[in-house]
Amino acid sequence: MRGTARHRVLVTGIGVESCAGDTPDELWGALSAGRSAISALDLEEPLPCRVAGVITGFDPRRYMTAPQVRRTSRFQQLLFAAAMKAREDAGLRTPPGALYVGTGGGGIDESARLVTALRKKGWKRMDRLGLIRLLPNQAAGLVAQELGITGPVITVSTACASSTDAIGWGMRAVREGAADVVLVGGVESWLDVPALASFCLLDALSQRPAEEAAIASRPFDRDRDGMVPAEGAGVLVLESEQSALRRGATVHGEVLGAASTCDAHHPMAPRPDGAMAARAVGLAFADAGLDTAAVDLISAHGTSTPLNDRTETAAIKRAFGPHARQVTVTAPKSVIGHAGGACGVLEGVGVLRAIQEKYVPPTANLDNPDPDCDLDYTPLVGRPAVINAAVMQNFGFGGQNSAVVFGAV
């Protein structure tokens, strides 16, 4: 059980930028209704990927000065906006003690621009700030500079598990007393041709036509044909109970435990038996001082790829044993697509709201369940439920497995 020396870790602030909206209410509205936020993707190149979770109407000038906008790339701007909103939601007036940010590709979309400029203009005519727009740690560095964060500012890059791992790092910092308040976040901006083409070559992305965008992401469905890429950013404020009480902060939920493992199996494919993914979940519950039988909701990684969804089903069965048949599962990527390194925080917002609202969001587009994916994935229609403990699990290339346990307060 949780030791008395450990601080409770509460969520006291939320900021999001997602294809479903730029507020937690808008994101939750789409998730709870099973309303797809996937749209047609406008690309000059004739890639087979024609749909994505695109953020529309984002204006960084709402949050940044004109010089900041000129010097930064989209992934930095998205994280900055989410961080400013999380700080405002939490009512913070002093710098947080630390910042942990997860991203898979960082400024990967800037790479193509630099190469194009190099070929057209030569290296001396390239943007001298191009490297600053590209480096994965620069989004966190920008936020730290703005907020005056002089403690640890760590960028975590574990593919699609990145921001889930970032939550775990931040939780431990608060729980162990290293900081009273930390920010944890995730960001991804990878809807550019080179990145998407690379995933297309791996047959990893859905090839549904643009007119079928709303039904393209279909985790655990027999007719799924690949993940739907999305961009986004999310930031949570994690705070010790003592600090939150002292400030009179609004509490959105609690982080109870977290853990990570590695398949050590393949650069892309998950370990077929799901053993290490299941171990991450088991370790997260042990870290929370709970048994897996206490879980009321699983927020699945649910990428909508044929192999990953089957493997995740096997992992859930291994982790939860007989309880796997009773526990409710939801797959948020059916609505908001796969935001890479940002998916953990964005999906974590959905879990926190599910606990608060006592409601399990549906898995959208689950019209024809795959016989190999035979658990309760809440198909098509959500349902009321009392949720005391929920686990969010995310897995990434390189065999990265990460799980976080959230609780009601």
Catalytic residue numbers? 160, 301, 338
- Length of the chain (residues): 409
DSSP secondary structure of 284-344:
HHHHHT--GGG--EEE------HHHHHHHHHHHHHHHGGGGGTSEEE-THHHH-B-GGGHH
Question: Any alpha helices (H) in 96-160, and if so which ranges?
Answer: 108-121, 130-134, 138-147
DSSP letter for each residue of 158-193: -GGGHHHHHHHHHHHHHHTTS-SEEEEEEEE---SH
201 to 36, 197, 207, 400: CA distances (angstroms): 26, 6, 12, 21
Backbone dihedral region of 148: left (phi > 0), alpha (psi from -120 to 50 degrees) or beta?
left
Residue closest to 278 by CA, chosen among 320, 309, 246, 239: 320
HSE toward the beta carbon, residue 398, CA cutoff 13 A: 13
Helix crossing, 306-320 with 275-288: angle to 10°? 50
Distance, CA of 26 to CA of 18 (rounded, Å): 9
Residue 79, token pair as written in the block: 């994280």
Phi, psi of 105, deg, nearest 5: -115, -10
d(CA 286, CA 392): 15
Could you tell me the sign of the dihedral formed by the alpha carbons of 278, 279, 284, 289, in that order? positive
Give burial (CB, 10 Å; 0-12/13-18/19+) of 1: exposed
Residue with tokens 């490297």: 131
The number of beta carbons lying within 10 Å of the beta carbon of residue 23 is: 16
Cβ atoms of residues 393 and 159 within 8 Å: no
**Conformational region of residue 312, where left means phi above 0, alpha means psi within -120 to 50, and beta covers everything else:** alpha
